[in-house]
Amino acid sequence: MKADKIRNMDAADLQRQVQEAQEQLFRFRFQMGMGQMEGLKKYRALKKDRARMLTVLGEKGRNGEVPTVPTGTTGKSKAGKK
């Protein structure tokens, strides 16, 4: 997916697309770990598309178009660290 197409989407659609991409990446990683999937190109393309979507969401957030930018998409928690 091209960045121009992503920029034309509204924030709610972008957030939904990011969530779907995250779930699909999880399934791909699980399949690769089990040795069932050989579509590494699809995996890499999906990672790049998700990164593009998150970049555009960040841009929209900085411009005030999005009330909240999604957090916690990396799965790492900073709770309890000092």
Predicted pLDDT at 35: 80
Establish if 69 belongs to a structural domain.
Answer: no
Question: Rounded to a whole number, what is the distance in angstroms from the first to the last CA of the chain?
Answer: 39
pTM: 0.69
Nearest to 21 by CA among 54, 56, 51, 46: 46
- Identify the CATH number of the domain in which residue 55 sits: 1.10.287
Predicted pLDDT at 69: 46
Establish if 32 belongs to a structural domain.
Answer: yes
The total number of structural domains that make up the chain: 1
Establish if 41 belongs to a structural domain.
Answer: yes
Establish if 74 belongs to a structural domain.
Answer: no
Nearest to 14 by CA among 60, 48, 76: 60
| 22 close to 73: Cβ distance less than 8 angstroms | yes
Quote the CA–CA distance of 76 and 58 in Å, as a whole number. 19
Segments in the chain below pLDDT 50:
69
Degrees to nearest 5, angle at CA 9 with 18 and 49: 40
